[in-house]
């Protein structure tokens, strides 16, 4: 189990809330933008900037799975993805994800909700 710091309040985070924050940061970080860790990140910011065409959902689901499985992102040893759900708010352009998967620290199936892109 990882321990971290809440990016807004500075308070200590651990367990699922810390994992959710790391996943959100991962999904919002474009690949190759971190100088020291070029392999870190995802292509989700690029996808969200495009129009929501018929293949949009499939592209997002594929990128979520790829980003979480990439060893450079350091999530695959704590979380194994089973299912992704996405809602798109066309009014304000917000995309929200819910992830269902196995939290490998204790073997429980968990749902991580409220990840916004």
pLDDT digits (tens, 9 = 90+) for 84-102: 999 988 787 788 999 999 9
DSSP 32: T
Residue 6 above 90 pLDDT? Answer: no
Residue 98's CB: how many other CB atoms inside 10 A? 14
Residue 1 above 70 pLDDT? Answer: no
What global pTM score does this model have? Answer: 0.87
Query: How confident is the model over 56-72, as a mean pLDDT?
Result: 93
Residue 37's CB: how many other CB atoms inside 10 A? 14
Gap between the terminal Cα atoms of the chain: 25
Of the candidates 42, 36, 90, 79, which has an alpha carbon nearest to the alpha carbon of residue 64?
42
DSSP 90: T
């Amino acid at each position: 189990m990882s321990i971290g710091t809440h990016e807004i309040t500075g308070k200590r985070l651990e367990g699922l809330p810390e994992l959710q924050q790391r996943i959100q940061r991962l999904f919002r970080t474009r690949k190759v933008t971190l100088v020291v860790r070029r392999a870190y990140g995802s292509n989700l910011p690029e996808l969200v900037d495009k129009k929501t065409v018929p293949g949009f959902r499939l592209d997002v689901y594929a990128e979520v799975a790829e980003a979480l499985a990439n060893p450079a992102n350091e999530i695959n040893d704590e979380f194994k993805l089973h299912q992704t759900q996405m809602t798109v708010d066309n009014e304000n352009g917000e995309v929200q994800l819910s992830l269902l998967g196995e939290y490998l620290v204790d073997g429980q199936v968990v749902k991580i909700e409220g990840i916004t892109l």
